[in-house]
Chain A
Amino acid sequence: MIHSFTDLQSIQGKLAAGATSCAELTEYYLDRIHEGAHLNAFISLFAERARAQAVEIDGKQKKGTAGRLAGMIMAIKDNMVLDYGATTCGSHILEHFQSPYTATVLKKLAAEDAIFIGKTNMDEFAMGSSTENSAFGLVRNPLDNDRVPGGSSGGSAVAVAADFCTAALGSDTGGSIRQPASFCGVIGLKPTYGRVSRYGLVAFASSLDQIGPLTRSVDDAALLMNVLAGRDPGDSTSAAVDVPDFCADLDKPLKGLRIGIPQEYYGEGLDETVRQALQKTSEFLRDMQAIPVPVSLPHTEYSIATYYILANAEASANLARYDGAHYGARADAARSLEEMYVQTRSQAFGAEVKRRIMLGTYVLSSGYYEAYYAKAQQVRTRLRDDFDGAWQHCDLLLTPTCPTTAFRIGEKASDPLTMYLSDVYTVSVNLTGLPALSIPCGQDPQGLPIGAQLIGQPFAEGTLLRVAKQLQLHHAPTRQVLRLEER
């Protein structure tokens, strides 16, 4: 019987010592996934393929030719394409869709000998904050099965928290990595827009989407960033910016680092226990000789409206290709082209996706474009100016990731607007393209994790990881859910 590992370094130590093998690890995780099936974290599993890969990598390990990620068993959000298995995006419309090609990030990970154990459940097309919007059933929080895991990368966050894998990939359009990381008590990093290739990530909102890691350790997040980051000629929006060694400065002291506390992120609507946890986090950082400074991001109140206009506008175009003509589901009974479109899309998209397509179509329509889309783009510029102003005074920002801890299943499902408002602290980061990381910083009286969000300057993921490392070591270690009985 092997024991759970918190990070890849300890796994690789045991592999090197011959105390475990990739094959053994794979069996361990497959058993865990089976045991935790009620959480519904996965849409598909690659058990046989993973076993075969494990044997192959164990062979390489003996020869000393294994890659940097040997021993890392990963779960992948089901909106990144692989040239095997299905890529569903949590939607009936892609239920049986098989991609002929593989996403750039997955090629990079596989080249370093990461093993993909399965594809994780998600809100349909990443539209949601609770993973209640999946065509393949909702996902449960492993800490309290009546609560949501957050979303849209709920399956990936659960897989990491419940020890179904060493690490997972999520995608973050308005908080979809950070918010579930916060609700499940793990680390989630949304890199700077352009830092990681989007080639092969099924688009929700192209100018906001970014792939990032979910892990139990800061070191693993840094190591994964070393592999994931970098310019991809297949993605025109990926940045030609040098990739540093994100592991190199992790232990550098925080002395003198200026930590901005944006007052707008601590106002009305913030749960009192979350506020207190953030207060303690700020005090801890001060003890580490960092310097908290109050800053202001005055346009924050417009960020939710701006986000839902721009994200849905882009989504309405990005999802137009699911029309039944070329691939994916097609309505059988249609007797004309128009009927095929209407019936296919009416039947195979879920309610939230349809709502957003309609909103996005509306804000781009002739006569409304200026009032909504064009105005939102202007606000987006103001939000950037806000952050540029803050960077005059600080090196990074500390905020709550979410106003509350994980809410109950069904609690907000019937009220989309309340659901949208829970994204208040995460969407500005996507609108401005900045990197941000969520890390556990305490728990509420029910024992539910609270997430602190660190927001960095463009391409300063390294600074976020450095601060996160100290928090993990000395402030609030990441918890692992080892007992999987229903709770």
Chain B
Amino acid sequence: MSNHIEYEPVIGLEVHIQLSTVSKIFCGCRARFGSEANAQVCPVCLGLPGALPVLNRKAVDYAARLALATGCEINPRSVFARKNYFYPDLPKGYQISQFEQPFCENGMITVETASGGKRPVRIRRIHLEEDAGKSMHQEAYVGDDESLVDLNRCGVPLLELVTEPDLTAPEEAAAFLAYLRQLVRYLEICDGNMEEGSLRCDANISVRVRGTFGLGTKTELKNMNSFRHVERALAFEYERQCALLTAGQAVQQETLLWDANRNIATPMRSKEFAHDYRYFPEPDLLPVEIETNWIEAQRRDLPELPQAKKVRYQEAFFLPAYDAAVLTEDADVAHYYEQVADRVDDKKLASNWVMGEVLRACKERGEGVTDLKMTPALLADLLGMLTRSEINSGMAKQIFEQVLQTGKSPHDLVAEGGLSQIDDHDSLQSVIQTVLQAQQKDVSAYLQGNEKVLGFLMGLVMKATSGRANPRTVTSLLREELAQLKNRL
């Protein structure tokens, strides 16, 4: 990536995670968007005179999930603080955040790098805070000399996660974010959509001579709205700092804005970040008191995390690492797979079908796995028929498509004969005769009055035709054939 092989980057991240609670963090307004501008607001999130915040405990539950999933220590007492600055999208003139006593501290996320290595990244802290509104300066309907503000987002709960500067490559930063996104989705605390701002990432980066331990002067990067942009911006800034140092110049501590159109990072005007936030404890809210029992209850409720699940798929289902990674990428897909795997013996076959047909169907139809008419139970039925050779794999794919369209069970679809069927009497008769010859004992049982055997023989014929025989034709032909045998007796 670089011709500055003697320097290594030192990267830390600050990620804002927008929580998917039903209501906002300090009032009862809906936190999900959808209505027109400034419609999801009330005296509290508008910062009207006299209004007071009341903490939404759901936001604390969500914070605890992430804390436990990242091995953080949850502080028995954390304190909200006011972060003071003026901006039109911040109606109170301060943001309620946490400062000296954050919700939790000292966690760890281990990231698997593209080369297969593992990079432990320490989490310095995670704290709760409220989101600000949105300012609009450039929309078509905004005049040259005016700005508009939409306060619907004001008070939506956020978690701010701060890492130590433990990442040593832009790709690692991207991998960290990808894992964090996967984690918050598993925990069902955030939809993880970076483009829509549900996950927002700022980064700081410095460089040092490879093999040394000191920290160089760092710069901050803002305004990156995808993993790819984070990676690109860091790569850009790494090159820029290396070039400065190589030329004998110093890196200035400053904040840079990533310009995704031009692929460069440019310094913010110094005024834009020269803030003294004058933090002090928020007197309108009590400290958040957390009891050990409660933490343990939350821990018990924690879902299996993606990395553990991946290991389990390899050990319990004997899946290759690749399959385990693909299947656990998304919590819903993993859940889908497990429901299929519970019902079929061949776990690898289930994996192939989920990774192949199911994910392809999702992509083509733009649906999530949970939306598909092909439910895990129906897929398991289909795979069962395939395993028992009642159908061949070509037919299985046809049935798969029909289930996707109709939601009918594979058995019914076969029974209805809606598939490309064998219906001509000659070929079916020869199959039937072959079956009957091989099953002399069952035939004589039938001839002695055991009618149940008919179904069994019927199944054998269907199997012999990979399910493509028209069952009605088979039934009538089979009865005829057996009747003739009876007559001969």
Contact = CB atoms under 8 A, between A and B. Distances in A.
A81 B283 contact: no
Interface stretch (A95-103, A149-157, A296-304): A95-103
A365 interface: yes
Contacts of B286: 236-237
Contacts of B92: 320-321
What's the interface size class on B, roughly?
A: 20 to 34
Interface string B38-50: 0000010011111
A160 interface: no
Contacts of B284: 203, 206, 236-237
Given A325-B91, A364-B84, A201 B50 contact: yes
Contacts of A80: 50
B285 A236 contact: yes
Nearest to B55: A236
A194 to B, nearest CB: 10
> Which applies to chain B's interface (DSSP): helix, strand, loop or mixed?
loop
The CB with the most chain A CB atoms within 10 A, among B51, B88, B276, is that of: B51
B52 A317 contact: no
A237 B283 contact: yes
Given A101-B43, A366-B276, A81 B84 contact: no
B91 A207 contact: no
Contacts of A321: 47, 49, 91-93
Given A236-B55, A366-B278, A94 B49 contact: yes
A267 B134 CA distance: 56
A198 B86 CA distance: 25
B43 to A, nearest CB: 5
Nearest to B89: A325
A234 B49 contact: no
Interface string B363-387: 0000000000000000000000000
Interface of A: 80-81, 87, 89, 94, 97, 99-101, 103, 198-203, 205-207, 233-237, 313-314, 316-317, 319-321, 323, 325-327, 337, 341, 361, 364-366, 369, 373
A100 B46 CA distance: 11
A235 B285 CA distance: 8
Choose among A202, A207, A364 the residue with the greatest number of B CB atoms under 10 Å from its CB: A364
A202 B50 CA distance: 4
Given A320-B94, A323-B86, A100 B48 contact: yes
- The main secondary structure of chain A at its interface with chain B is loop
Given A206-B284, A236-B55, A320-B86, A100 B43 contact: yes
Contact of A341 (B43, B82, B86): B86
Nearest to B151: A326
Given A206-B283, A317-B93, A320-B86, A364 B278 contact: yes
Contacts of B94: 317, 320
Contacts of A100: 43, 48
Nearest to A336: B145
Given A236-B284, A236-B285, A317-B84, A87 B278 contact: no
A326 B52 CA distance: 17
A168 B433 CA distance: 104
Contact of A199 (B46, B50, B91, B280): B50
A323 B88 CA distance: 9
Contact of B52 (A199, A327, A337, A369): A199
A150 B292 CA distance: 50
A325 B48 CA distance: 12
Contacts of A369: 278, 280
Given A236-B285, A237-B284, A366-B278, A320 B84 contact: yes
A207 B286 CA distance: 11
B283 A89 contact: no
B483 interface: no
A79 to B, nearest CB: 8
Contacts of B43: 99-101
A272 to B, nearest CB: 39
Contacts of B91: 321, 325-326
B277 to A, nearest CB: 8
B78 to A, nearest CB: 15
Most chain A CB neighbours (cut-off 10 Å) among B47, B147, B276, B280: B280
A202 B49 contact: yes
| Most chain A CB inside 10 Å of its own CB: which residue of B47, B49, B92, B276 | B49
A87 to B, nearest CB: 7
Contacts of A94: 49
A99 B49 contact: yes
B48 A101 contact: yes
24 contacts: A80-B50, A87-B50, A99-B43, A99-B49, A101-B51, A198-B50, A199-B50, A199-B51, A205-B283, A206-B283, A235-B54, A236-B285, A313-B280, A317-B82, A317-B94, A317-B280, A321-B47, A321-B92, A325-B91, A326-B91, A337-B88, A361-B278, A364-B84, A365-B278
Nearest to A97: B49
Given A236-B285, A317-B82, A320-B94, A89 B280 contact: no
Contacts of A81: 48-50
A334 B93 CA distance: 19
Nearest to B47: A321
A116 to B, nearest CB: 16
Q: Which of A233, A313, A325 has most B Cβ within 10 Å?
A: A325
B53 interface: yes
A313 B47 CA distance: 18
A236 B54 contact: yes
A80 B50 CA distance: 7
A100 B50 CA distance: 11
A120 to B, nearest CB: 16
A206 B286 CA distance: 12
Given A99-B48, A236-B53, 16 more contacts: A81-B50, A200-B51, A202-B49, A202-B50, A236-B54, A237-B283, A317-B82, A317-B93, A320-B93, A321-B49, A325-B149, A326-B88, A326-B91, A366-B278, A369-B280, A373-B280
A387 B86 CA distance: 39
A452 to B, nearest CB: 30
A366 to B, nearest CB: 5
A321 B284 CA distance: 15
Interface in B48-87: 48-55, 82, 84, 86
B38 to A, nearest CB: 10
Given A321-B93, A323-B93, A361-B278, A314 B283 contact: yes
A316 B88 CA distance: 17
Contacts of A317: 82, 84, 93-94, 278, 280
Contact of B50 (A203, A236, A327): A203
Interface string B331-364: 0000000000000000000000000000000000
A462 B43 CA distance: 34
A103 B50 contact: yes
A207 B284 CA distance: 7
Nearest to B43: A101
Nearest to A235: B52
A186 to B, nearest CB: 25
B15 to A, nearest CB: 25
A378 B458 CA distance: 89
A437 to B, nearest CB: 24
Of the candidates A87, A89, A99, A321, the one having the most CB atoms from chain B within 10 angstroms of its own CB is A321
Contacts of B53: 236
